[in-house]
Amino acid sequence: MPPAISDGSHSDVSPAVEVSNLTFSYPELDGSPAPGSEPVVQDMSMQLLPGQRCLLIGANGAGKSTLLRVLAGRHMVPSGSVRVLGQSPFHDTQLTASGDMSYIGGSWDRDIAFAGYSVPLQGDFPAGQMIRNVPGIPADRVERLMKVLDVNPEWRMHQVSDGQRRRVQLCLGLLRPFKVLLLDEITVDLDVLGRADLFEFLREECEDRNVTIIYATHIFDGLDDWPTHVMYLARGKLQAFQPVETFPQIREGDLLGLVCGWLSKEREFNKADGRLPDGTKAVAADQDLKLASWNNGWAGGRLASSIKHSSNAVLR
Ligand SMILES: Nc1ncnc2c1ncn2[C@@H]1O[C@H](COP(=O)(O)OP(=O)(O)OP(=O)(O)O)[C@@H](O)[C@H]1O
- Report which ligand 1 atom has the smallest distance to the Cα of 67: 18
* Ligand 1 centroid, distance to 129 Cα (angstroms): 35
Residues in contact with ligand 1 by the CB-under-6-Å rule are: 26, 40, 58, 60-66, 278, 280
- Mean pLDDT for the chain? 81
Among 40, 111, 263, the mutation site with the greatest number of ligand 1 atoms within 8 A of its Cβ is: 40
Rounded to an integer, what distance in angstroms lies between the CA atom of residue 121 and that of residue 158?
8
Percent of the chain past pLDDT 90, that is, above it, reads 44
Among 99, 107, 49, 40, which residue's Cα sits nearest to residue 75? 40
Rounded to an integer, what distance in angstroms lies between the CA atom of residue 213 and that of residue 178?
10
Amino acid making up residue 284: A
Question: What digits encode the pLDDT tens for the residues 113-150?
Answer: 444 544 455 566 788 888 988 888 999 999 999 999 98
| CB 22, CB 241: distance < 8 Å | no
Question: What digits encode the pLDDT tens for the residues 143-181?
Answer: 999 999 989 988 887 778 888 888 888 999 999 999 999
Percent of the chain past pLDDT 70, that is, above it, reads 78
* Ligand 1 centroid, distance to 236 Cα (angstroms): 10
Between 139-148 and 192-209, two packed helices, what is the crossing angle to 10 degrees? 150
Q: Where in the chain is the domain with CATH 3.40.50.300?
A: 17-100+178-282
What ipTM goes with this model?
A: 0.96
Question: What digits encode the pLDDT tens for the residues 189-227?
Answer: 778 888 888 999 999 999 999 999 999 999 898 898 999
Question: What digits encode the pLDDT tens for the residues 282-305?
Answer: 655 545 444 444 444 444 444 444
Best CATH choice for the domain 17-100+178-282 from the list 3.40.640.10, 1.10.760.10, 3.40.50.10470, 3.40.50.300: 3.40.50.300
pLDDT at 11: 62
* Ligand 1 centroid, distance to 71 Cα (angstroms): 15
| SS3 labels along the chain | CCCCCCCCCCCCCCCCEEEEEEEECCECCCCCECCCCCCCEEEEEEEECCCCEEEEECCCCCCHHHHHHHHCCCCCCCCCCEEECCECCCCCCHHHHCCCEEEECCCCEEEECCCEEEEECCCCCEHHHHHHCCCCCCHHHHHHHHHHCCCCCCCECCCCCHHHHHHHHHHHHHHCCCCEEEEECCCCCCCHHHHHHHHHHHHHHHHHHCCEEEEECCCCCCCCCCCCEEEEEECCEEEEEEEHHHCHHHHCCCHHHHHHHHHHHHHHHHHHCCECCCCCECCCCCCCCCEEEEEEEEECCEEEEEECCCCCEEEC
* Ligand 1 centroid, distance to 121 Cα (angstroms): 23
